[in-house]
């Protein structure tokens, strides 16, 4: 993962990937997970997503990991929480307040022991942020540190030759290659992106639920 690239995006406030509202696909499909109040949800590469606000408002415990300290500081500020900050490992800090824990650092340095138990993963912006060469390692690491927790996964699919990512195109075949050996995979929705991506490139947004075998 190109830490410099993402940190520069946040430093320059070039965060067009940050949605100004809760993702409607989360609202629509999260009930499929069947989680009860108090469940612990892991949001990899979380930025300052408003989806975290939504989880907290519904009584969930949220744990995330994010490269940019700027993003994490803004997240806590916008929620209205003052975090306790601790050093958890080399190049890894934890911002914690009430039901929200965010690790600041590279997800590949986050261990299962640091993460703790989670009941579900919500991946809207992580897999699509990674180039193909990194995705298999990411998927393997995610399964390892989460104990193969079930996932609600949102991906994009388009002709990668038309534009450079991120977000990168992730095909149906990719999903089955990364996760098919460990999860039952179901596509809940496949919808054309209104207006396309970055100048109108046709794209499809796919929503998946991954249940451990």
Q: Which residues are annotated as a binding site for S-adenosyl-L-methionine?
A: 10, 45, 66, 124
Cβ pair 118, 101 in contact under 8 A? no
**Strand pairing report for 183-192 and 150-158:** unpaired
Q: Are 88 and 109 in contact (CB under 8 A)?
A: no
Alpha carbons 175 and 178: distance in angstroms, whole number: 5
Residues comprising the chain, all counted: 213
96, 83 contact by CB (below 8 A): yes
**CB-CB contact of 121 with 150 (8 Å):** yes
Q: What angle do CA 13, 131, 142 make, to 5 degrees?
A: 95
C-alpha distances (whole Å) from 18 to each of 46, 47, 77, 98, 180 are 10, 8, 16, 24, 29
Binding residues, by number, are 10, 45, 66, 124
Do 75 and 45 contact (CB within 8 A), yes or no?
no
Q: Could you give the CA distance from residue 163 to residue 156 in angstroms, rounded to a whole number?
A: 13
């Amino acid at each position: 993962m190109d830490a410099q690239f993402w940190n520069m995006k946040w430093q320059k406030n070039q965060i067009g990937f940050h949605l100004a509202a809760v993702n409607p696909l989360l609202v629509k499909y999260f009930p499929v997970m069947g989680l009860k109040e108090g469940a612990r949800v892991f949001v990899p590469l979380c930025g300052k997503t408003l989806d975290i606000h939504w989880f907290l408002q519904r009584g969930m415990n949220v744990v995330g990991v994010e490269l940019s300290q700027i993003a994490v500081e803004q997240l806590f500020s916008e929620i209205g929480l003052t975090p306790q900050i601790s050093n958890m490992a080399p190049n890894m800090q934890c911002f914690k307040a009430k039901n929200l824990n965010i690790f600041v650092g590279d997800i590949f340095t986050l261990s299962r022991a640091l993460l703790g138990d989670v009941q579900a993963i919500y991946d809207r912006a992580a897999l699509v942020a990674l180039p193909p060469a990194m995705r298999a390692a990411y998927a393997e690491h995610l399964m390892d540190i989460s104990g193969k927790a079930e996932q609600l996964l949102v991906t994009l699919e388009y002709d990668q030759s038309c534009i450079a990512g991120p977000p990168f195109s992730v095909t149906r075949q990719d999903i089955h290659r990364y996760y098919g050996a460990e999860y039952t995979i179901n596509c809940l929705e496949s919808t054309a992106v209104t207006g396309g991506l970055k100048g109108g490139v046709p794209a499809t947004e796919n929503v998946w639920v991954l249940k451990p075998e």
